[in-house]
Structure 1
Amino acid sequence: MEIKAPDLGVDSAEVSEIMVQVGDVIAKDDNIILLESDKASVEVPSSAAGKVTKISVTVGDQVSEGVVLIELDSDAGGDSQEASAEETDKAPEKAPANKSEGDKSHASEKSKDASASAATDTNASKPAAKEGTATTHALPDLGVDEAQVAEIMVSVGDMVTADQSVLLIESDKASVEVPAPEAGKIEKILVKAGDMVANGQDFIVIIGSDADASTNSADAKSDEADAPDVNKEDSSGKQASQTTGEPKQAAVKSTSSSNEVVANAGGKLTESQVNAKLTEVYAGPAVRKLARQLGVDITQVSGSALNDRILKEDLFAHVKNSLNTQQAAPASGSGASSSLPKLPDMSNVEIWGESETQDLTRLQKVSIPQLNYNTYLPQVTQFDVSDITETEKLRGELKGGMKAEGVGLTILAFIVKATAYALTQHPRFNSHLSDDNTQVILRKSVNMGIAVATDDGLIVPVIKNAQDKGIKQIAIEIGELAVKARDKKLSTKDLQGASFTISSQGILGGTAFTPLVNWPQVGILGASEATMQPHWNTKSQTFEPRLMLPLSLSYDHRVINGADAAVFTRYVAGLLADPRRILL
């Protein structure tokens, strides 16, 4: 019998761990494979019971729905159980060879009965709070402040195992399956599909399984017998290491100062240093790759999954906590309030007048924490104008042919190309300030964020490696990303990795605006509506009508000074006036 991958919720996922071996006899719903994607980690259960005869995948493989994971001999599982039952039934029929042996056997049986009775009495004398007790459980850290319940995967009365997926939670960033915190029977589900939930909110009531409590008790006794002179934390760590087959994190980590925590989360480690530390923890390949990308010291991250396995959500929570620690320090030092005061009571109509409450969209809600980062950035805006008369003529000559190919050529494609080239010549604008404010991290590739307005709010998809792409390819990607953004089909990868952002308000009117720097970037370029204006021609000594494009460059003054901003903005304006200069 072939056990195939179910619907994973993504196109493909990576095999992070194989949890069974050839020859193992497994039951239905036993976890067999651990899969990881950019969105979540999922343990795949077996859809049948039997003996594992073949494992069809290896760690690191990319699998999708319908791919064969393992093969089972379903008869082997049944035969084994039947044989065991037959041996149990036949055992009492064997007679002792003589009376003496019979007496010994009888005495032995009495001794066993007495031992069983004593064990029963001992268990009965223990508190029964963990056995058959209904416990209310709260949601873990979801990685965002709020998310929506997309699907409830179990029903009241269902029996679940620990870490079995029970809820599917969706935010604008990712979809995450919430596992059952313990094994047992579902007594009550406290949320419903469509609800907005937050970290720590109660979501399910489970009556704990007696079998699990008995197993835990037996495991504890076994540990005490094997290692009587070892303290409880060491014994627990040893047991977890044996269970998972992976190196175990230290149970108690030495505490460090807030500055050290921030430095660990900020990206100061080299890739070789991170790789060396990764061997000390229990995490899958996708999590390890993400740790390298974020520069996180993964030995400082606490795992939330079974046996302290580290998930991607744990990495995000670690970075988030570190950033909060960093931002709280200057706020408390200056005596400034970290947040605005509460609104006054506006129920008095005579004072405040009539009012109406409208809910923010999910996108607007999750954007608020990111926008709050601007409070901590000293931002300045540099204004300039570019004469794009000749560029617009070139666009007019090209757009007919491109339209026939299904490509919409807008002035934004020229702005992206010119800005990407300018960033390669002025790399400080394509950088990030280190957490300890002592270094500038220069990006070698230009990943250009493009602000797109949707019905739910502003969203910023990313054009990767814009410096290597021509205007036609950039125009194609702008069109594709805009459609995906408005249809709500952008993936997480489409929204990550931007090093600089462009916000164009060309069709909305206005003469200029002050865009907000999207932390951790250090600059953003705004483009307003191009208009015909009189421009003085020094050669002919006359005014000429020229198409002028207003530019607004906002920048982080900690990294960029005013003179450099003026030079950069003028440089971009010159490239837009004559795109042929990019070819030089």
Structure 2
Amino acid sequence: MEVKLHDIGEGMAEASINCFLVKPGEFVKADDPLIEVQTDKMVAEIPSPTSGIVKEFKVAPGDTVPVGTVLLVLEAAGKGAGAESVSDAFRETATKTGTVMETAILPKKEAITQIYPRVLASPYTRKLARDNSVNIEEITGSGPAGRIVDEDVLQFIEKGKESPKRVGPVGTTRIPAADSSIPTIGKTIPFRGRRKQIAKNLLHSIQTIPHCTHFEEIDVTNLIHFRNELKDAGKPISATAFFIKTLSICLKEFPIFNAVLDEQNEEIRLLDNHNFGVAVDTEEGLIVPVIRAIQTKALPEINKDMKTLTEKALNNSLTISDIQGGSFTISNVGPLGGSIGATPIIQHPQVALVSFHKTKKMPVVNDNDEIVIRSIMNLSMSFDHRVADGATAVKFTNRFAAYIQNPKMLLLELV
């Protein structure tokens, strides 16, 4: 039977082949992992739909293939088939692939175990090995059942650094001087996997949605003081958690920004749940895990969910449910420094995205015409101009600013 790439994520169109987890001629059981793939949002393993023998692969590591592509051919083990027929199939596959195998003579109907030892390791551990040009099959695992863990890979890398390097003979061939007038390529970066899918998603969004970006300055001085009070009381809450909850409160008054435009049915669907995508910067590119039903959650729970999802994103261990169903997106780039504004691209089919930028102390004239030093943060809000108008966006950010500038007023709204 043919094992095809199926949709393992929301709106997934393609995936890159990372590596094979089995070999031709190997017997696998139902749900055993066959191939590791990289989508735009996660690393995932394609499981075997049934027990059988791996006959041949139809793709190669590094390929980027669309959903529906045949990945490999699996010869399903027939019901009641004895060990002799299975062993014959192993030998036939081995002959075709040129693989040398040694098999023991097994009693009839005895279960067949793996011919090749399976390398047990998580997708992130495999990625760690690949990124450091390490053959994971050469590593001895220290985890349960010989599973290879991150520490095993790191120790293997360190041992390699300590080993003496071989120095080859010095050649005598003269290398001509490079023509300085011609630009040379230093190195190349693969444009596939998550980076390629991010590019496709952003291009589709910018070509579909008429973006309009509204900028605002927010006085966060009182919020900083309030957070310090909570921290001193043993209840630390991140600024981002405050931003998320405050935006959710504002969306109750301005639900147009928590919506989806259905052009086919000519209607704007206002969504009940505030499912916020929180952009996380990872080595593989930007990824947006989703905190669900924020309108029902208190600040400590939002803070905890955000930290958990951020750690999973950085460790490349997000599941499909972690990235699906977002209705509104935020991006906090302020901690990176240097950013005073941006024109963020909306996550289609959402309606809006808010980005928080650098906070800096500035002289401000207060209501008494006095110059005081305040902490000012810049905000950028991109919205779908087909769905909402600029005046509505201004009212939305004004309401957000009012709460942030007087954070104790949030106590009247918090659940």
Q: Structure 2 length normalisation: TM-score?
A: 0.64
Matched, 1:386 2:198: no
Residues 361 and 454 of structure 1: CA distance in aligned 2, closer, same or farther (over 3 Å): farther
3-state secondary structure, aligned to 1:520: coil
Q: Is the 8 A contact 2:5 2:71 kept in 1?
A: no
1:146 aligns with 2:15: yes
For residue 517 of structure 1, the aligned residue among 346, 353, 369 is: 346
| Distance change >3 Å, CA 361–CA 452, structure 1 → 2 | farther
The one-letter code of the counterpart of 2:238 is T
User: Given that residues 527 and 552 in structure 1 are in contact (C-alpha distance below 8 angstroms), is that contact kept between their aligned partners in structure 2?
Assistant: yes
Amino acid at match of 2:209: L
Matched, 1:396 2:228: yes
Question: 1:428 offset after TM fit, Å?
Answer: 0.5
- The 1:206–1:434 alpha-carbon spacing in structure 2 relative to 1, beyond 3 Å, is closer
Shift of 1:580: 2.9
Matched, 1:457 2:289: no
Post-superposition shift, 1:478?
Answer: 1.7
Count of residue correspondences: 303
Cα separation, partners in 2 of 1:445 and 1:153, compared to 1, 3 Å = same
Give a deviation string over 1:300-338, Cα, whole Å, max 9, x none.
xxxxxxxxxxxxxxxxxxxxxxxxxxxxxxxxxxxxxxx
CA–CA separation in structure 2 for the residues paired with 1:562 and 1:359: 40
Q: Distance in 2 between matches of 1:479 and 1:164?
A: 31
Are the equivalent residues in 2 in contact too, given 1:413–1:475 (CA < 8 A)? yes
**Equivalent pair of 1:409/1:472 in contact (CA under 8 Å):** yes
Structure 2 match to 1:359 = 190
Deviation at 1:542, TM superposition (A): 1.4
Q: How does 1:334-483 map to 2 (within 5 A)?
A: 350=181, 352-360=183-191, 362-374=193-205, 375-402=207-234, 408-436=236-264, 438-483=266-311
Structure 1 residues 167, 354: CA separation in 2 closer, same or farther (over 3 Å shift)?
closer
Q: Which secondary structure does the structure 2 equivalent of 1:441 belong to?
A: strand
State percent identity of aligned pairs.
Answer: 28
1:168 to 21, 31, 35: 35
Q: How does 1:72-91 map to 2 (within 5 A)?
A: none
Higher Cα Rg, which structure:
1
5 Å-filtered alignment, 1:90-489, equals 139-140=4-5, 142=7, 143-153=12-22, 155-156=24-25, 167-171=34-38, 172-173=41-42, 174-177=44-47, 179=49, 188-191=56-59, 194-199=61-66, 203-204=71-72, 350=181, 352-360=183-191, 362-374=193-205, 375-402=207-234, 408-436=236-264, 438-489=266-317
- Where does structure 2 lack aligned partners over 5 or more consecutive residues? 80-178
Note closer, same or farther for the CA distance 1:139–1:469 as it changes in structure 2 (3 Å cut): closer
The residue type equivalent to 1:198 in the other structure is V
Query: How far has the Cα of 1:368 moved from its partner?
Result: 2.3
Q: 1:454 to 1:423 in 2, by over 3 A?
A: same
Q: Structure 1 418/195 Cα, relative in aligned 2: closer, same or farther at 3 Å?
A: same
Instruction: Give 1:504 shift.
Output: 0.6
Determine if the alignment matches structure 1 residue 490 to structure 2 residue 318.
yes
State the superposition RMSD in angstroms: 3.4
Aligned-partner Cα distance in 2 for 1:402–1:490: 30
1:98-155 C-alpha deviation (Å, 9 max, x unpaired):
xxxxxxxxxxxxxxxxxxxxxxxxxxxxxxxxxxxxx9x6845555312335544463
For residues 533-548 of structure 1, the aligned pairs below 5 Å read 533-538=362-367, 540-548=368-376
Residue matched to 2:125:
none
Structure 1 residue 371: Cα displacement: 1.3
Structure 2 vs 1, CA of residues 402 and 473 (structure 1 numbering), >3 Å: closer, same or farther? farther
Distance 2:274 2:180 in 1: 53
Give the direction of change, closer, same or farther, for the CA distance of 1:568–1:164 in structure 2 (3 Å limit).
closer
| Superposition deviation, residue 352 in structure 1 | 4.5
The answer (yes or no) to whether the contact 2:33–2:46 under 8 Å persists in 1 is no
Whether the 8 Å CA contact 1:149–1:167 is kept in 2: the answer is no
Residue of structure 2 equivalent to 1:563 = 391
2:26, 2:358 → 1: CA distance? 61
8 Å CA contact 1:168, 1:178 repeated in 2 = no
Unaligned 5+ runs, structure 1: 1-134, 212-347
Measured in 1, the distance between the counterparts of 2:274 and 2:371 equals: 38
SS at match of 1:490: coil
Superposition deviation, residue 411 in structure 1 = 1.2
User: Which amino acid in structure 2 is aligned with residue 564 of structure 1?
Assistant: T
CA displacement, residues 542-566 of structure 1 (integer Å, 9 cap, x when unaligned): 1111111111110000101111111
- Distance in 1 separating the partners of 2:232 and 2:248: 25
Higher RCO (C-alpha under 8 Å, 6+ residues apart): 2
CA distance in 1, matches of 2:308, 2:77: 51
Given the superposition, is the C-alpha separation of residues 205 and 500 from structure 1 closer, same or farther in structure 2, using an over 3 Å criterion? closer
Q: After superposing the two structures, state which structure 1 stretch, 556-565 or 459-468, moved more.
A: 459-468
Seen in structure 2, the aligned counterparts of structure 1 residues 196 and 497 have a Cα distance that, compared at 3 Å, is same
1:209 & 1:504 partners in 2: Cα distance? 52
TM-fit CA distance, 1:366: 2.6
**Distance in 2 between the 1:572 and 1:414 partners?**
11
Q: Distance in 1 between matches of 2:354 and 2:187?
A: 35
Contact 1:149–1:197 (CA under 8 A) maintained in structure 2: no
Q: Secondary structure at the match of 1:528?
A: strand
SS of the aligned residue for 2:387 comes to: coil
Q: Post-superposition shift, 1:350?
A: 4.8
| 1:527 aligned partner | 356
Distance (Å, rounded) in 1 between the aligned partners of 2:201 and 2:370:
49
CA spacing shift, 1:360–1:541, aligned 2, 3 Å = same
Compute the displacement of 1:362 (Å). Answer: 3.0
Deviations 1:40-91 (A, max 9, x none): xxxxxxxxxxxxxxxxxxxxxxxxxxxxxxxxxxxxxxxxxxxxxxxxxxxx
- 8 A contact 1:361–1:456 mirrored in 2: no
Which structure has the highest helix share of the two?
Answer: 1
Contact 1:156 1:189 in 2 (8 A): no
Query: Is this contact kept in 2: 1:378–1:556, CA < 8 A?
Result: yes
